[in-house]
């Protein structure tokens, strides 16, 4: 690589300067440093897009799971109201059905919160150190 142009004091790989840099702006010392910066920028942008897509997918899954949970709870309340009318369901069945469905709902909500939104997925800034 040639030495910088003595007239402009610019590296050889810079063809033209369109404007002055603001004070404190980063200036690459070599072409390799500039290429490394571009590679890092491309990787970070790809990572950011992947994180955005994962968040939207997780949000969609969480919404659907909680819709299903709500539907199950409404179905249990509908069964209780139906049973309170003229129809009589077996009391032993109702005693087992209601707690088991509520336990399933709580378990499903727990697993969504615990595994779909893991603490390791939080940004590094908000993570608490142990």
Say if 95 falls within a structural domain: yes
4 pLDDT above the threshold of 60: no
Burial 62-88 (b: 16+ CB within 10 A, else e): eeeeeeebeeeeeebeebeeeeeeeee
3 — pLDDT class (breaks 50, 70, 90): low
Q: Taking the CA atoms of the chain, what radius of gyration do you get in angstroms?
A: 30
* Count of domains for the chain: 1
Domain that holds residue 51: 31-117
Q: 74-90, pLDDT tens digit by residue? A: 888 887 777 776 677 77
Facing residues of 10 across strands? 5
Give the distance from CA 38 to its chain's centroid. 25
Global pTM exceeds 0.75: no
Average pLDDT, the chain: 77
Residue-level pLDDT at 29: 81
Say if 101 falls within a structural domain: yes
Say if 122 falls within a structural domain: no
């Amino acid at each position: 690589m040639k030495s910088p142009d003595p007239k402009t004091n610019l590296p050889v790989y810079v063809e033209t300067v369109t404007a002055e840099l603001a004070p404190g702006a980063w200036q690459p010392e070599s072409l390799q440093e500039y290429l490394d910066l571009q590679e890092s920028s491309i990787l970070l942008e790809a990572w950011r897009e992947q994180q955005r897509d994962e968040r939207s997918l997780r949000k969609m899954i969480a919404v659907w799971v909680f819709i299903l949970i709500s539907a199950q709870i409404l179905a249990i309340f509908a069964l209780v109201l139906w049973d309170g009318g003229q129809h009589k369901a077996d009391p032993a069945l109702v005693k087992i059905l209601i707690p088991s469905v509520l336990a399933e709902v709580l378990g499903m909500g727990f697993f969504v919160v615990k595994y779909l939104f893991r603490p390791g997925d939080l940004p590094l800034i908000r993570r608490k150190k142990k």
